[in-house]
């Protein structure tokens, strides 16, 4: 203005008249927001992988009508959301988990699409969840619009392929993405959390093995005093036993909830572990140990296809797992390689097929 440079955001001058119509003025993004009867697909994956157990906050960036947010709040989770049409006055805040569900595929401008992705990622303290519509034979017909289509409802849709979506995410964010399902990816900002997720992703979900076993009673002459002590510290002791089973190894003091209560009652974590072990069926613990070792071996076998992470860069809990179960990283990796090579062992394949047939797995032959 005159001989002064004024930032565009502060420019209060009249806009320049133009006869050219704005690009695609008829795009009605708000019409893509669905009324949901249940949680959306990306939120369901969060529940499946244990992210919605109350430990993390969630923010829905582009929440539409807000059904996911309402559902999370009704489950006593800390959740919020923002949408430029349905919830423009809600604060945009950071959270442990940010959901960008079915947002970038309805934005017709590529640069704005990338900006939305970057903004959502900047809000995530641990992980960003991205979900889009994938290309399929039933995709809506419509007029070509940039790299997508303008539908008959005047909405834009960019139908991605799985590979195309991964490329877009990684080129814009310069971070590795993890495919969770068709059209759903996780991008972790917290790399320690990423390692924990990858290791836990291959954990066996075997019903029953984490159920508390029947209590083994101590000798009668010590029963009353031990029972009184158990009842006094029952909640932290049962939590400790559950964590011991979940890990398959003794928990480190940094992993124990209610540690101060246990120290007050028993003097040390080791004594608390011995006390609870005297009242439980240790066969359940050995079963948990074997299952956890198998899960970690599968994880390390699949990691053979990736660049090896030095031991010192592994998440501390994973380091403790490797030391407790295998002794050291090298031994664990050797076992994983041997497991991987067994995929091509005809005898191992035949044994696995026989075992599956004995358990009634698979379909009988037809003829």
SS3 letters for the chain? CCCCCCCHHHCCCCCCCCCCCCCCCCCCHHHHCCCCCCCCHHHHHHHHCCCCCCCCCEEEECCCCCHHHHHHHHCCCCEEEEECCCECCCCCCCEEEEEEECCHHHCCCHHHHHHHHHHHHHHEEEEEEEECCECCCCCCCEEEECCEEEECCCCEECCECHHHHHHHHHHHHCCCCEEEECCEEEEECCHHHHHHHHHHHCCCCCCCCCCCCCCCCCCHHHHHHHHHHHHHCHHHHHHHHHHHHHHCCCCCHHHCCCHHHHHHHHCCHHHHHHHHHCCCCHHHHHHHHHHHHHHHHHHHHHHHHCCCCCHHHCCHHHHHHHHHHHCCHHHHHHHHHHHHHHHHCHHHHHHHHHHHHHCCCCCCCCC
Task: Using pLDDT thresholds of 50, 70 and 90, give the confidence band for residue 205.
Answer: low
pTM: 0.58
Residue 96 CA to residue 69 CA, distance in Å, equals: 15
Helix 220-232 × helix 269-277 angle, to 10°? 120
pLDDT for the residue numbered 301:
86
* Residue recorded with tokens 């993405």: 177
Mean of pLDDT values over 82-101:
93
pLDDT for the residue numbered 349:
83
Partners of 128 in the β-ladder: 98, 187
pLDDT for the residue numbered 21:
36
Task: Using pLDDT thresholds of 50, 70 and 90, give the confidence band for residue 357.
Answer: confident
For the cut 80, the answer to whether the pLDDT of residue 12 exceeds it is: no
Residue 119 CA to residue 111 CA, distance in Å, equals: 12
For 326, phi then psi, to 5°, come to -125, -10
For 57, phi then psi, to 5°, come to -90, 155
Tallying the residues shown for the chain, one arrives at 367
Radius of gyration of the chain (CA): 27
pLDDT for the residue numbered 214:
39
Residue 136 CA to residue 283 CA, distance in Å, equals: 50
pLDDT for the residue numbered 120:
96
Task: Using pLDDT thresholds of 50, 70 and 90, give the confidence band for residue 114.
Answer: very high
Pair 186, 127: CB distance under 8 Å? yes
Pair 102, 65: CB distance under 8 Å? no
Q: Exposure of 239 by Cβ count < 10 A (0-12 exposed, 13-18 middle, 19+ buried)?
A: middle
Q: What are the pLDDT digits (tens) for 239-263?
A: 898 888 888 899 998 888 888 888 8
Mean pLDDT of the chain: 79
Mean of pLDDT values over 12-34:
46
Residue 187 CA to residue 178 CA, distance in Å, equals: 6
Q: Enumerate the CATH 3.40.50.150 domain ranges in the chain, comma separated.
A: 25-189
Residue 307 CA to residue 106 CA, distance in Å, equals: 35
Least confident of 21-25, 34-38, 67-71, 269-273: 21-25
Question: What does the block give as tokens for 6?
Answer: 């004024």
pLDDT for the residue numbered 73:
92
Q: What percent of the chain has pLDDT over 70?
A: 78
Superfamily of domain 25-189: Vaccinia Virus protein VP39 (3.40.50.150)
Please list, in sequence order, all residues whose beta carbon lies within 8 angstroms of the beta carbon of residue 134, skipping any fewer than 6 positions away.
159, 160, 161, 162, 165, 182, 183
Mean of pLDDT values over 108-119:
92
pLDDT for the residue numbered 80:
95
């Amino acid at each position: 203005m005159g001989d002064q440079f004024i930032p565009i955001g502060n420019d209060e001058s009249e806009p320049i008249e133009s006869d050219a119509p704005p690009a695609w003025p008829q795009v009605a993004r708000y019409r893509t927001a669905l009324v949901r009867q249940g949680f959306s697909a990306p939120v369901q994956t969060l529940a499946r992988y244990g992210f919605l157990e109350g430990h993390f906050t969630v923010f829905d960036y582009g929440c539409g009508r807000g059904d996911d947010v309402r559902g999370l709040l009704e489950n006593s989770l800390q959740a919020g959301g923002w949408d430029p049409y349905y919830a423009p006055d809600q604060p945009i805040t950071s959270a442990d988990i940010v959901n960008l569900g079915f947002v970038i595929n309805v934005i017709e401008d590529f640069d704005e699409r990338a900006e939305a992705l970057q903004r959502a990622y900047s809000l995530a303290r641990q992980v960003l969840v991205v979900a889009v519509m994938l290309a399929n034979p039933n995709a809506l017909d419509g007029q070509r619009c940039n790299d997508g289509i303008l539908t008959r409802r005047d909405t834009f849709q960019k139908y991605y392929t799985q590979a195309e979506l991964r490329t877009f995410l990684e080129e814009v964010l310069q971070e590795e993405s993890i495919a969770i399902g068709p059209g759903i990816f996780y991008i972790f900002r917290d790399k320690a959390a990423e390692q924990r997720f990858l290791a836990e992703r291959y954990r066996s979900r075997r019903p029953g093995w984490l159920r508390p076993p029947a209590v083994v009673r101590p000798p009668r002459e010590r029963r009353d005093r031990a029972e009184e002590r158990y009842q006094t510290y029952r909640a932290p002791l049962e939590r400790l036993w559950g964590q011991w089973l979940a890990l398959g190894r003794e928990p480190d003091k940094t992993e124990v909830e209610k540690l101060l209560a246990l120290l007050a009652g028993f003097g040390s974590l080791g004594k608390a572990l011995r006390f609870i072990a005297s009242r439980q069926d240790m066969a359940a613990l050995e079963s948990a140990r074997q299952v956890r070792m198998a899960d970690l071996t599968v994880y390390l076998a699949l990691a053979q296809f990736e660049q090896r992470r030095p031991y010192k860069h592994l998440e501390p809990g994973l380091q403790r797992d490797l030391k407790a179960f295998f002794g050291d990283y090298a031994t664990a990796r050797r076992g994983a390689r041997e497991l991987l090579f067994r995929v091509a062992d005809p005898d191992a394949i035949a044994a696995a097929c026989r075992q599956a047939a004995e358990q009634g797995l698979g379909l009988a032959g037809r003829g």
